[in-house]
Each structure stands twice: as structure tokens, then as C-alpha cells.
Structure 1
């Protein structure tokens, strides 16, 4: 049962459910400096229906809960690929562009006193580009070939698939190094005492990005690709 109600403060909702920040941003509800206000009051200030806003928040919460109760390792290869694409590839295409402006804002506002944020911004830009290119290539080229090979493991397909799997694993390793560097720079996402709401949001969503990406890579490297290796 959801703990989020009309009386929950906006800042607490974002702490509990970081992706809700995108909803509040689109509705022009301040979750940062003016976030210590009940959701119903924040909605009324923007002349919005509080119940409708709460329902939108709960939809975000329900989506997260539905995804957390699934064991994809039991799926067949086609279903596993579809799951990876829907949860992780689509998730990255949605999350990375949404997170970028928050990181830019925090780097601009706090970078002078916290210069590591400027490096975090650089790494995120590189990571965003690489992950989007990587997942697009998987969707358009590699996954269809893997599924074709799993159904018809011919010598010709074997020669095509083997180097692609190796290349993808190398790209996964590089993405992991970038995420580890972000964790080191942020001291395990430890916030300074004076951190504002946007600063807190960035760390929470970077931590979630790291978690999701490592789960994503694990499913590919240690499940999907292992199934390919059995046939190689």
C-alpha cells in the first residue's frame, strides 16, 4: 500500500520516488527550495486538481513496483530480449535526457564550491552518448542476430555473433568504469550538509542509474550472452 498521500510533502515524495521530479517539473511544482509543502497545497497553488496529481504520482510508483517483482532469468530468450529492451533500453532513452538538465544545473550552481560536479557532468555526457548508441545498436542489429542464431545456430551465424558479443561486453565494461568513477567522485553518493533538493535528486537518480545499468549488464553478460556461448 502506498505511503504517499495528499498530505505528504513534495520533497519527501521526490526522495521516495526520484522519477516523480519529472512530473513536478512539468507541472511547475517546486520540489527543491519550496518542496517542504503538502502535495495538496502545492497542487492548489498551481491551480491543479490535487487528486489528479496524486494519481499521476501513484502511477509512477506502481510502475516501479511492477518491475521490481519480476525474475527475468527464467524467461526464454525472446522474452528476455523484449524485457531488456522494454525495461532497460526504453528506460535509458527516457531517463538520460530527463536527468541531463538537473546535472547541468547542479554543476553550474555548485561546481565552483564542489568542482567534482564538473567532472561528473563530463562523465555523464560521455556515458549518455555511449549507452544510447550501444542500446540502439543492440536493438537494430545484435539482438535480432542473437535470436536468429539461437533458433538456427549455423556456422555462418556463429562467426557473426561471436565478435559482437565480445564487443558488447567490452562496451559494458567501459560503462561500468564510468559509473564507478562517478561513485568515487561523489564519495558513494554522499551529500554535503548544505545540498539543495536538486543536488539530492541528482545523486539519488545517479545511484538508481548505476543500479539499473549493473542489473541490465548482468542480464546480458551472465544470462543472454551465456546462452549464446553454450551454442558457440
Structure 2
């Protein structure tokens, strides 16, 4: 077998078997060349193919790492990020940065409202920034919830049924605060999901979630029987 292909297949096998987990650092080109008794150029070719297939990330001056698989979410659903991340085999954690009463009515949600900001983490790394408003007129029980420990979206999905939802999806660049929280540069490609949900015609919550572009996909499936433009 071609040496580069053999190295590529061996590393791919370690990743797919779970022996090497997302975020794990891969041995250096020098170490792999010594291990396999080949030239660094051969190792570099194998790593380039792995990066092109999305299995690893090559970071300048930092080395190569097992890539975090992108999380897929259906466009027309209201997903629980904790469940989506856990389904990929990664540890999930919510980290609140601020919880306070909204200072004014915004996003069509009149005061009183609760404003919550924080970061969703996957495998210990930032996955998405969230800023959420919850209508306390519609969801008064939210006052007594410890959103330091539980992500507001997870709690709402478990306790407050919604009847309508609207998504607005944009490709954006983060501001400095958001970039710092997500661990990316201000020129990084991010996906913004702006969502409002209603119950019986009354707004329950409005949320703006900003995802790292390399970690999240929105997916929709259609069939020939659905109406719409071709």
C-alpha cells in the first residue's frame, strides 16, 4: 500500500474508533515520520488528505488535532443544543455570563423580561454564544430557575410548549466580545440563528445564537411531493 495512504488510513481508524477523541493533539510530522520510517513529505500528504476529509484540523504553529465533528440541526425544528452535542459523543456544558432583568422592551418582548447571556461548550470548547430574552408575563416560573446551572433553552423545551416559531439565519462575523467568548477571530465565519417562539399567539422567548462556522450545520430534507420552487 502507498505509505501516505497507509498512514492516513491508520490515523482515520484511530479517530473513527474513538481511540483519538475530538480535540486530541496528533503526533508531529517528525514523530509520525520516525514511527513509520518515512519522509516528512509522506506524512504531510497523509495529514493533508485527513484535513481535506474533515477528520483533523491543521493549525499553523500549533500542530494537528482531531477535528470536532459538525453538529447537524434541522432548519425547521427548535433544537436542544445539549442533546445535539451529546449525540455527537461530546461532553456538553452551559456557562452563563450574565442573568438580569431586561432594562427595556426589545425584540417585541415587553417588560418584564429576563435577559440571559452565556456560552454553550462542547468537549470543553466554545460552541455557541447565546443571548436570550424570556417573557416573564408568559413564563413567570422562569424567575425561580437557576440558569447558572441549566441552559435556558433546555429548560424552556422541557417546561413550556410552543406553538409557532420563526427562524432567521444569517452568515455574520462576530464582534470583539463574541469572538473572545467563542475563541475565534473577528473575521471568522459564524452562523447566526435569530429565533422567536410563540405559544397561542403570545411570545415566549427570543434568542440570538451565534455558532462557530466550523462546528454547526443547518440541514433540511425535502421530497418531490413538497410544494416550492425548483
TM-score higher than 0.5:
no
For normalisation by structure 2, the TM-score amounts to 0.28
More strand by share: 2
For normalisation by structure 1, the TM-score amounts to 0.28
Relative contact order (alpha carbons < 8 A, sep ≥ 6): 1 or 2 greater? 1
